[in-house]
Structure 1
Amino acid sequence: MEFRPAEKPAAFEPVSQKSALTIRLCGPRGFCAGVDRAIQIVVLALKEFGAPVYVRHEIVHNRYVVEGLEAKGAIFVEELDEIPPEHRKQPVVFSAHGVPKSVPADADQRNLFYLDATCPLVSKVHKQAMRHNRMGRHVVLIGHAGHPEVIGTMGQLPEGSVSLVETIDDVDTYTPPDPDNLGFVTQTTLSVDDTAGVIKRLHERFPNLTAPAADSICYATTNRQEAVKQAAPGCDLFLIVGAPNSSNSKRLVEVAFRSGARQSVLVQRASDIEWDTLGEIRTVGLSAGASAPEVIVNEIIEAFRARYDAVVELADTVEETENFLVNRELRHVPLTQADMAFVNGD
């Protein structure tokens, strides 16, 4: 992979007393189209219906984003029964991770107006799982237990019709109801390489296993992992901006270390970096999970520039052009430049 400078050096620069440092800035990084759409839905709902707008669970796994939406008038709840009766005409937004079918059914029973911000690529996995089920197959879901997306996907089907596996060891001990009638889907934010190993083992044990019509791991997860994989060799440190409960961010940390970075760390802000323990570093890799805003990436770059004579190299792989439309009820609502800057994480 060739790295190109992010900016041209000045014709004359004073000699710096700081240690030289190269920052390999991965691209693509940060917000994906699904996250962008989910945040946009909350912002548009606030503009159209006024505050408060309720959001069930974190709209995306990032405290900076959640706190920014709270400042605009969003209220985050764990369950729908937390919405007070006097606010039940206000919209409630379901998060980008998707929800079980029981959640919109509960909203209907409570006469709530809801807007579903489920990422279209997660919805695609739901449809793949439901198709397996319609065809009479028992569904094997590859994913992480307890993750909201996994809970949402399993909740699309009748109880007992989905089995969850996380690792190759899980596959080795798995006893399906009918080994010859299985179909699999995966969580969208898994490690591409790890998941390939799990799928390979499933096919070895169950030769009649049916794959989904298209890959379940989403384009954004794949693209970010590939960029990190190519940038990691030779890095003394690799930083991934993301939340501890963000699956795709944690996978990037693992990919960076496996691909050659001497150490790989997940951080939420520049203040999380343990500057005194970094030691001698010459090359730092930097990327961000799909729910991490660009403003924090820039914050970290500036924090390095304050301490090092840092230059930024762009480690770009592909350009992402995906764009997902918001709900029909919101498409007529205009966004200001300030709104768009927030939605884009700038």
Structure 2
Amino acid sequence: MDKEKRTLLLAAPRGFCAGVDRAIQIVERALEKYGSPVYVRHEIVHNRYVVENLEKKGAVFVDELADIPTDVPVIFSAHGVAKSVPEEAEKRNMFYIDATCPLVSKVHREAERHQKDGLEIILIGHRGHPEVIGTMGQLDEGQITLVETVAEAKEFAPKQADKELAYLTQTTLSVDETKEIVAVLQARFPTIQTPKKEDICYATTNRQTAVKALAQRCDGLLVIGAPNSSNSMRLVEVGQKAGCDTVALVQRATDIPWEMLNACRTIGITAGASAPETLVEEVVAAFSKRFDVSLEEIVTNEEQVVFKMPRVLEA
């Protein structure tokens, strides 16, 4: 029997961003330079496939510094950490390497600068996300107010009426939803200071733009990524809001919801910034086994961003 035809539209850009690529390389280079084991505090990036591959090479992932011997290297994840974490590492005489994405570090420095300038700071982000915990932890508790929704933006009350305000954002938010929150804050507080350069990172913005383009042309959309990956979950939401009725998050090919996609003839595929291209290839291969597949890549942007390695790993 002839296979049914399916058209797969691949988003470009998709998958690894420069910050994720750098973080993974930091772990791999540390293993090469110092040998196994190298400890990593929390998942280096939010993707189990990546974490499991690094575990096979000798990386050990733990929740807290207390779980790590003091005589081995420790790496902090790409999401960033509160200042208390490196301070604790130094007290314990631990050798650590910070794999925080430079674009997250930029937000950290903004927070410090706003505090130095005497501004009250609002952070737009998701409660409990490691990046938000790390950013809020750059300053003393209570110095940054988290705003997660438009409703919270409408209810926000400054601690001091005479103090100027500034806002920062998590780097992996929905661009459109963040605009709505910012619009509320600016309407209520016209003099609120904005980031000098957009806090939502280039990769998040580009991947969401690509999904919007896909959603106009497909009747099914798969986002390859992890459920604890903020940027991947935002891609699901963006696809749904852009008009695609059938959208699913899958971690890899074994998760593909075939019944859900049964009526779909054109399927868009993208990957969150923590998902490797190997998983995209795996999903395409799974479709090729079942269907007569035609592939088309939808290019909405080209990325050339590369971040430097920490000096200790450059040699």
Candidates 255, 274, 278, aligned match of 1:272 = 255
Q: Which residue of 1 aligns with 2:100?
A: 118
The residue type equivalent to 1:322 in the other structure is V
Paired residue for 1:304, among 271, 284, 287?
287
Q: What corresponds to 1:100 in structure 2? A: 82
Distance 1:150 1:259 in 2: 27
Question: Is contact 2:206–2:301 with CA below 8 Å preserved after alignment?
Answer: yes
1:285 corresponds to which residue?
Answer: 268
Question: Following the alignment from structure 2 to structure 1, what is the Cα–Cα distance between the partners of residues 45 and 181?
Answer: 27
Following the alignment from structure 1 to structure 2, what is the Cα–Cα distance between the partners of residues 279 and 265?
13
Match of 1:258 among 217, 236, 241: 241
Matching of residues 22-101 of structure 1 within 5 Å: 22-84=7-69, 88-101=70-83
Q: Which runs of 5+ in 1 are unaligned?
A: 1-15, 333-346
Contact 1:182 1:209 in 2 (8 A): yes
- Deviation of 1:269 after TM superposition, in Å, equals 0.7
Q: Deviations 1:217-262 (Å, cap 9, x if unpaired)? A: 0000000000111111131110000000000000000111111212
**1:156 corresponds to:** 138
2:302 and 2:195 map into 1 onto residues whose CA distance is: 26
Q: Is the 8 A contact 1:60 1:97 kept in 2?
A: yes
Q: Report the number of matched residues.
A: 314
Quote how far apart the aligned CAs of 1:159 are: 1.4
Structure 1 segment 90-239 matched on structure 2, within 5 A: 90-179=72-161, 180-239=163-222
1:234–1:260 contact (8 Å) kept in structure 2: no
Task: Indicate the RMSD between aligned Cα atoms, in angstroms.
Answer: 1.0
Could you tell me whether the CA contact under 8 Å between 2:246 and 2:261 is conserved in 1?
Answer: no
The amino acid across from 1:104 in the alignment is P
What CA distance in whole angstroms lies between the structure 1 residues aligned with 2:53 and 2:121?
Answer: 38
Distance, in Å, in 1 between the alignment partners of 2:223 and 2:6 is: 17
The CA deviation at 1:130 is 1.1
Between 174-183 and 17-26, the greater mean CA deviation after superposition: 174-183
Greater alpha carbon shift after TM alignment, 172-181 vs 193-202: 172-181
Q: Distance in 1 between matches of 2:190 and 2:52?
A: 48
> Per-residue deviation at 1:317?
1.0
Which range moved further: 208-217 or 112-121?
208-217
> C-alpha displacement at 1:89, in angstroms?
2.1
Counterpart of 1:234 in 2: which secondary structure?
coil
Aligned amino acid, residue 223 of structure 1: N
Amino acid at match of 2:222: L
TM-score (norm 2): 0.98
CA–CA distance in structure 2, aligned partners of residues 316 and 227 of structure 1: 7
Give yes or no for contact 2:39–2:74 (8 Å, CA) kept in 1: yes
The answer as to whether partners of 2:120 and 2:143 remain within 8 angstroms in 1 is yes
> In 2, Cα distance between the equivalents of 1:17 and 1:202?
57
Deviation at 1:182, TM superposition (A): 0.7
Stretches of structure 2 lacking an aligned partner (at least 5 in a row) = none
CA distance in 2, matches of 1:276, 1:228: 22
Q: Give the letter for the 1:199 counterpart.
A: V
Shift of 1:278: 2.4
CA–CA separation in structure 2 for the residues paired with 1:49 and 1:138: 43
After the TM superposition, list the runs of 4 or more consecutive aligned residues in structure 1 that deviate by more than 4 angstroms: none
AA in 2 matched with 1:52: P
TM-score normalised over the length of structure 1: 0.89
CA distance in 2, matches of 1:277, 1:238: 11
Q: Which amino acid aligns with 2:15?
A: G
1:192, distance to aligned residue in structure 2 (A): 0.3
